[in-house]
Structure 1
């Protein structure tokens, strides 16, 4: 289970910064409150287990900015390396899975649901996908490539690997299902 939490964090993060330790990441009461509010309004999910909660990125400024983009419906995708799943012997994300997105401090901001998962070589990422992941239409592909190359390079360095143009990226498409805009 710890591997899945780590993978979820890594997959939907990008770029630079400092990470919180496990001790710093306590589940905020707002997470359960959001899930209860969601299931009261969507009774068909009442019996589902509360999804995992986490924030995008690995620093406060970017985590809070990306949570806001999710709320506004601008960020609708997340990216991670296929090799992370292979190393952890973990399944790829599943369509229909929900996650509770928080800000850096753990306050629940939104519930997302995975709609589609693709595995694409880094050098074949489209501008349309980059716009969904970055939450912007201003040079999204250039921004996506720089941010993700830098982040992937830094994480791969820990295992003495280097990024390549054809490394596989797991691309998760999602929609914000709560709160409704």
Structure 2
């Protein structure tokens, strides 16, 4: 995750996301509720790379910063909530359902969670190195301040550790 990832993101295709959601909702026995539409990462290349790890790799967790939700006045993910993950063009590809959410400080993120994120070599050392670089780059640009791991012990600055499963499209058996 280097500075070449800091590129303009294209608009999300909300109409296609709504159609995907409608198809998914019709397949459910009960109403799945609402959804959000998002990318992984902060550039088209990173969005594509991380989404590929979800669809063809071992990625079934992600992390974000609590202050990003607070700044946008958005609720934190909840167990059972859904989000539609888009590729680097803004096209919806999969629907994910959140299966676990924990708020942790940087030093509380463990090797098991780092492994579940499925990135790089899946080690905790790699997770810490790459996420620190990413958050320093994005937080400094978005909030005009330098992000540091130590601040994540403060409520409002913690790391949102989210586990998920792909629920649509359904895998063919």
Shift of 1:147: 1.4
Q: TM-score, length-normalised on structure 2? A: 0.79
SS at match of 1:132: helix
- Structure 2 residue aligned with 1:160, among 134, 142, 145? 145
SS at match of 2:89: coil
1:116–1:174 Cα contact (<8 Å) kept = yes
2:116–2:122 Cα contact (<8 Å) kept = no
- Structure 1 residue aligned with 2:8, among 20, 33, 51? 20
- Structure 1 residue aligned with 2:110, among 126, 147, 153? 126
Q: Which runs of 5+ in 1 are unaligned?
A: 1-13
Corresponding position: 1:67 with 2:57: no
Q: Which runs of 5+ in 2 are unaligned?
A: 153-157
SS at match of 1:80: strand
- Structure 2 residue aligned with 1:170, among 142, 160, 164? 160
Corresponding position: 1:151 with 2:141: no
Q: TM-score, length-normalised on structure 1? A: 0.76
Separation in structure 2 between the aligned mates of residue 124 and residue 53 of structure 1, nearest angstrom: 28
SS at match of 1:45: coil
Shift of 1:88: 5.0
Separation in structure 2 between the aligned mates of residue 106 and residue 56 of structure 1, nearest angstrom: 11
1:123–1:166 Cα contact (<8 Å) kept = no
Separation in structure 2 between the aligned mates of residue 60 and residue 30 of structure 1, nearest angstrom: 18
2:14–2:37 Cα contact (<8 Å) kept = no
1:119–1:171 Cα contact (<8 Å) kept = yes
Shift of 1:65: 1.7
- Structure 2 residue aligned with 1:33, among 10, 15, 19? 19
Equivalent pairs, count: 163
1:142 corresponding residue in structure 2: 125
Shift of 1:160: 2.2
2:119–2:127 Cα contact (<8 Å) kept = no
For the structure 1 residues 162 and 103, does the alpha-carbon distance in structure 2 shift closer, same or farther, using more than 3 Å as the test?
Answer: closer
Structure 1: 4+ residue segments shifted above 4 A: 86-90
Separation in structure 2 between the aligned mates of residue 88 and residue 32 of structure 1, nearest angstrom: 21
